[in-house]
Structure 1
Amino acid sequence: MTRSEQPEDPNRLHPRPDFPQQDQEPPGRTGPMDPPPDHGEESYRGSGLLTDRKTVITGGDSGIGRAVALAFAREGADVLLTHLAEEEQEARETARLVEEAGRTAVTVPCDIRDEKQCRDLVERAVSDFGRIDVLVNNAAYQMSQPDGISAISTEQFDRVVRTNLYGMFWLSKFALPHIPAGGSIINTTSVQAYKPSPHLLDYAMTKGAIVTFTQGLAQMLASDGIRVNAVAPGPVWTPLIPATLPDTTEFGKQSPLGRPAQPAEMAPAYVFLASANASFITGEIMNATGGTPLP
C-alpha cells in the first residue's frame, strides 16, 4: 500500500484551530478566508453515480453548495445553482468547476425569501433541463446574537425564517410536479437542530423545523417514488462563518475531531442520498457532525 492509498487520520486531514481572526460583511466571500475552504477541487473523483441527472442547488455559489455542485457534476449531473445578486462572482467560480467536469452549469440570482422568485426559479430549471431529478435546499442565513433573544430583531428573525423555511417550502412545493419517480429532495439541516447554541437561537429553531419537514414530506411522497432526506452538518468552514460569527479563531474546536469540516467532506453525503445507492432511504437525517452525538 502506497502512502496515498493509506487511510488518513481525520483529526489531521484538514486545518485545525486556532485560525486567524477574520471578519467579513454578510454574505461573505471565499477568497479572503484563511485557511481557504476545500470544496474538493483537487480531491473529489466521480464514478458516474448521477449520470445525466438534472439538479437544482440553492446557495450553490460557495461553501457546502459549491462542494455539492462540484461533486454532482463530477458524478455526471447538470447543475442549476442559485446565488444572491451580490454573490455573482462566487457563482461564476462554481459554474466554472461544473463546466470543467463537462456538465452544464446554470447560475440564477434568486432571493428565496420571495415566493415569485422561487416559482420563477423552478420554471427556469424546467425550461433549461426539462425536469428536476434532485432538489437540494441548501441556502440558509444565520447571525450570531451573543446577547440572546432580546437582541434578535424582528428584521433578523424574519430574514432567518424566510430564508431557511419559506424558501425550502416554496421550492419543494413548486418543484414537485417536475420531479419524476426516482427523484429526490435533500435538505440541509444542522447539528444546531439538536444541540442549539444560545447565540444562534433563531437559526437553530429553523434547523429543527427542517428535520420535521423532511420527515413529514418523506412520508407524504413515498408512494410517488420520491425520496426526501436531509444532511445535518456540524461546524463547516464556509464564508458564512467569518460573515456572521464574532470569533473565528476557535471555530470547530468543540467537535470531537477538534476541527471544523471542510465543505468537501459534506458533499459525499449529498451524492449518496441523491443516488440509486440510497433507494431505500427516505425520511432520514444523515448526521455529519465530526463525532458530536445526536439523537
Structure 2
Amino acid sequence: MSVPSEDLPVTPRHDIYPGIDPTPHFKNQTYKNKIVLVTGSSRGIGEEIAVYYGRAGATLALVARQQSALDAVRETILKEVPGAVVETLIADVTKTTDVKNVVDEAISKFGRLDIVVANAGKADPWDKPFTETDPDNWWNTIEVNLRGVYNIAHYALPHLDLTSGYFIITSSRGAQNRRPNASAYAISKHAVGRLNEFIKLEHPKVKTMAMHPGSIKTAMAVTNPGLAHFLIDTPQLPAGTILQLTSGRYDWFSGRYVSANWDLEEVERDWKEKIIASEALVSRLAIPS
C-alpha cells in the first residue's frame, strides 16, 4: 500500500460521525428502488449493512448459508421498515453453482442489481504457525475469503455493468500487514484487494472498493481473544460508511482500498488529489526515496 491505513493522518473514527450520519439517507429514502445484494448478511457486519440499506429504502437480496439466521435478519428489518422488500437466498459462497443460482434468482425476482456487498468471510484462531494447523482448514479460509468474493464478482459484475453499479468487498487492515499465525486470513484479504483493482480495469463502469470495516467484536473476531482490546468499533461504522461510499460522492475511491476508520470528509478534503495523482491505496512495491 502506498498509504497504509494506520498511517493516513486523518481523524480516526470508531462509530457513526457527522460525515457518515445515515439519518438523511433514512429520511429521504436515498436507496428507494435500488436493488442491493449482500453476502454474509445473517449476522454481524453484514446484518448491520443490510439493516441500514433497508432503512434507506433499498430492496434487499440477503445471502448466507442458514435460512433461520436470514429469517431473523429479515424480521429485524421488517420491524424497523414495515413493507420492506427482503428476499432471502441460501448459498455457500465457495460453491460456484450456489452463487450462480442466487444471482440468477435475484435477477429473476428484481430484474437488475445496483449494489453488491461481498461480505462473507472467515477467520481462525491466530495461535499457531500454518505448519501446525490443518492444511484443509487453511485453504478453506482462502476459499471463503477469496473464492467467495471471486464467485459473486464473476456472476454479479455483468449485471452491475448494466446499471453502472457498485461492488463493495469487505476487506481488512490485516490485508496490509504481516501478523504471525494469520497467514490464511491476511493472504486472502490482500488478494481480494488486488482482485478489486482488476475489477476496476475489466469492468470500468462498476465502482468497486475494498473496505476495511473497522475492528469490531463479531462472532468471527472473538476467535482471537488476544485481539479483544482492539475491537472497539461499532458495526454501525461500516454500515454508515458503505451508505456514503455508494452514494455517488466517493466514486473516486473505485479500485482502491478504503478504511471505515478514516474520516471520509477529511480524506476527500486533504488527500483526494494526492491519492489520485500518485495512484495510491493500491497494492504495489514501494522503494523508499
Normalising by structure 2, we get a TM-score of 0.77
Deviations 1:246-285 (A, max 9, x none): x26x61x24xxxx521111111121122222334441122
- The equivalent residue for 1:186 is 168
Alignment equivalent of 1:57, drawn from 15, 28, 38: 38
Distance 1:268 1:230 in 2: 15
Give the paired residue count: 246
Residue 282 and residue 105 in structure 1: after superposition, are their counterparts in 2 closer, same or farther (change >3 A)?
A: same
**Distance (Å, rounded) in 2 between the aligned partners of 1:70 and 1:233:** 16
Aligned-partner Cα distance in 2 for 1:173–1:81 = 18
Corresponding residue number in structure 2 for 1:140: 121
Which of the two has greater helix per residue?
Answer: 2
- Alignment CA distance shift 1:62-1:52 (3 Å): same
* 1:210 equivalenced with 2:192 (yes/no): yes
Deviation per CA, 1:63-83, whole angstroms, max 9, x where unpaired? 110111011111111111112
Instruction: Give how far 1:217 is off.
Output: 1.0
Q: Equivalent residue of 1:276, what SS?
A: coil
C-alpha displacement at 1:47, in angstroms? Answer: 3.5
Does structure 1 retain, via aligned residues, the 8 Å contact 2:36–2:58?
yes
How far apart are residue 103 of structure 1 and its match? 1.9
Q: Structure 2: any 5+ residue segments left out of the alignment?
A: 1-11, 264-279, 282-289
Bigger Cα displacement from structure 2, 55-64 vs 153-162: 153-162
Question: Residue 46 of structure 1: CA displacement?
Answer: 4.9
The amino acid that maps onto 1:112 is V
Moved beyond 3 Å, runs of 4+: 44-47
Deviations 1:219-261 (A, max 9, x none): 2222xx211112113321111123x32x26x61x24xxxx521
Which digits, 9 at most, give the CA deviation of each residue in 1:167-187, with x for residues without a partner?
211211111222223311000
Specify the SS of the correspondent of 2:249: helix
Cα contact 2:213–2:238 (8 A) shared by 1: yes
Determine helix, strand or coil for the equivalent of 1:135.
Answer: strand
2:239 aligned with 1:239: no
Shift of the 283–46 alpha-carbon distance from structure 1 to 2, 3 Å rule, reads farther
Q: Which amino acid aligns with 1:270?
A: I
The reply on whether 1:75 has 2:47 as its aligned counterpart is: no
CA contact (8 A) 1:46 1:71 kept: no
**1:118 match: secondary structure:** helix
State whether residues 98 and 104 of structure 1, in contact with CA within 8 Å, keep that contact through their aligned partners in structure 2.
no
- Would you say 1:156 and 2:137 are equivalent positions? yes
- Tell me if structure 1 keeps the 8 A contact 2:33–2:59: yes
Give the whole-Å Cα distance in 2 for the aligned partners of 1:290 and 1:202.
26
**Aligned runs of 1:61-140 on 2, under 5 Å?**
61-85=42-66, 88-99=67-78, 100-101=80-81, 102-140=83-121
Identify the residue that residue 246 of structure 2 maps to in structure 1: 274
Distance in 2 (alpha carbons) for counterparts of 1:122 and 1:202: 27
CA RMSD of aligned residues (A): 2.7
Give 2:233's match in structure 1, choosing from 261, 279, 287. 261
Is the 8 Å Cα contact of residues 234 and 290 (structure 1) preserved in structure 2?
no
Answer yes or no: is the 8 Å Cα contact 2:60–2:87 preserved in 1.
yes
Counterpart contact for 1:191–1:289, Cα < 8 Å: no
| Secondary structure at 2:216 match in 1 | coil
Separation (CA, whole Å) in 1 of partners of 2:159 and 2:76: 26
Q: Structure 2: which amino acid aligns with 1:110?
A: A
* Equivalent position amino acid for 2:144 in 1: T
The one-letter code sitting in structure 2 at the alignment partner of 1:236 is I
Q: Secondary structure at the match of 1:199?
A: coil
Partner of 1:229: 209
Equivalents in 1 of 2:168, 2:243: separation in Å? 10
Are 1:73 and 1:79, in contact at CA under 8 Å, matched by a contact in 2?
Answer: yes
Q: Deviations over 1:144-186 (max 9, x none)?
A: 1412121232211221111111121121111122222331100
TM-score relative to the length of structure 1:
0.75
Contact kept? 2:146, 2:188, Cα under 8 Å: yes
